[in-house]
Amino acid sequence: MIPLFSGQYERLAVIADREAGLNLPESKRTFVASRLQRRLRATGAGTFDAYLRLVEGDGADGLREREFLVSALTTNVTGVYREPHHFDLLAAHLVETLDHGIRRERKYRIWSAGCSTGEEPLSLAATCRATLGTGWSTQVSILATDVDRFVLEKARDRSEDLELGRLLLTGPNTPFRTRAAAVENPAHLIRKLQTAITYMHHNLTQELDVGGQFDAIFCRNVLIYFSRDAQAKVHDLLRQRIAPGGLFAIGHSERLLGQHPPLAPAGRTAFRRPINDRKANGATCC
How far is residue 107's CA from residue 276's CA, in Å, rounded to a whole number?
20
H or E element that contains 237: helix 228-239
Task: Tell me the backbone φ, ψ of residue 148, rounded to 5 degrees.
Answer: -95, 110
Buried b (16+ CB within 10 A) or exposed e, 62-91: eeebbbbbbbbbbebebebbbbbebbebbb
161 catalytic residue (yes or no)? no
239 catalytic residue (yes or no)? no
Instruction: List, in order, residues 6 or more apart from 190 with CB less than 8 Å away.
Output: 122, 158, 159, 161, 164, 165, 168
- Considering the candidates 35, 64, 106, 166, report the single residue annotated as catalytic: 35
Q: Which of 183, 184, 192 is nearest to 128 (CA)?
A: 192
- Considering the candidates 66, 103, 109, 146, report the single residue annotated as catalytic: 146
How far is residue 126's CA from residue 192's CA, in Å, rounded to a whole number?
9
128 and 193 in contact (C-beta within 8 Å)?
Answer: no
The angle formed by the CA atoms of residues 98, 99 and 103, to the nearest 5 degrees, is 30
How far is residue 198's CA from residue 208's CA, in Å, rounded to a whole number?
14
Known catalytic residues are 35, 146
